[in-house]
Amino acid sequence: MPSASQTPGRLNLFNFKNFDVLLDYAHNPAGLRALQNLITNMDSTIKVGIIAGIGDRRDDDTREVGQIACEMFDEIIIRQDKHLRGKTETELIDMLKEGIYSVDPKKPVKVIPSEKEAIDYAIHHVQPGALIVLCSDVVPDALEQVQRYKEEEAKELYEFPKAGVPDPAV
């Protein structure tokens, strides 16, 4: 059974009171398709995906990641990997958007380059019953951040979603 301690970054599911977060390292079309097969059968009111393009992949693969994400998610947040691996941030974002909009030109897409800020935004703007799927670059940092939110919820320090959190989107 996947868990954050046994298999960090592989199907790590966190059940919050009013929503769920699934963290996975999926970063190519095959990985995203496998994730798509899993979440298709997961119960949620809305599926929000946090994705990124990787610079040392073929351009067509990056566009395909956008296409698959568009099929999987009701809303998409594009973030950036820590290391762009040979492409610019703008190139990767544009290719992902190309893929997304080739499937659905009206798909809600938000660009939040920082993974940490993208996670914060998704959690603070979550709808009840949602599934947030985080395709993470720096798994230990993302796990720590999500686990911190779980601890805060357990202590009942936070009510989600939180009004008034600034929108870091660019």
Q: Please write the tens of the pLDDT for every residue from 76-103.
A: 999 987 677 778 889 999 999 999 999 9
Q: Tell me the average pLDDT across 31-49.
A: 95
Amino acid identity of 166?
P
Considering the chain, what percentage of its residues have pLDDT values greater than 90? 71
pLDDT at 163 over 60: no
CA distance 155 to 9: 25
Angle made by CA atoms 49, 92, 54, in degrees to the nearest 5: 75
pLDDT at 70 over 70: yes
- Express each pLDDT in 125-151 by its tens digit: 999 999 999 999 888 999 999 999 999
pLDDT of amino acid 54: 83
pLDDT of amino acid 1: 52
Would you give the distance in Å from CA 12 to the centre of its chain?
13
pLDDT band per the 50, 70, 90 thresholds, residue 159: low
pLDDT at 72 over 60: yes
Task: Identify the CATH assignment for 17-154 out of 3.90.190.20, 3.40.50.10860, 3.40.50.150, 3.30.420.40.
Answer: 3.90.190.20
Q: In this structure, what are the phi and psi dihedrals at residue 24, rounded to the nearest 5 degrees?
A: -150, 155
pLDDT of amino acid 27: 86
**Residue 11 and residue 2 in contact, taking contact as beta carbons nearer than 8 Å:** yes
Amino acid identity of 97?
K
47-56, 134-143, 156-165, range with the lowest pLDDT: 156-165
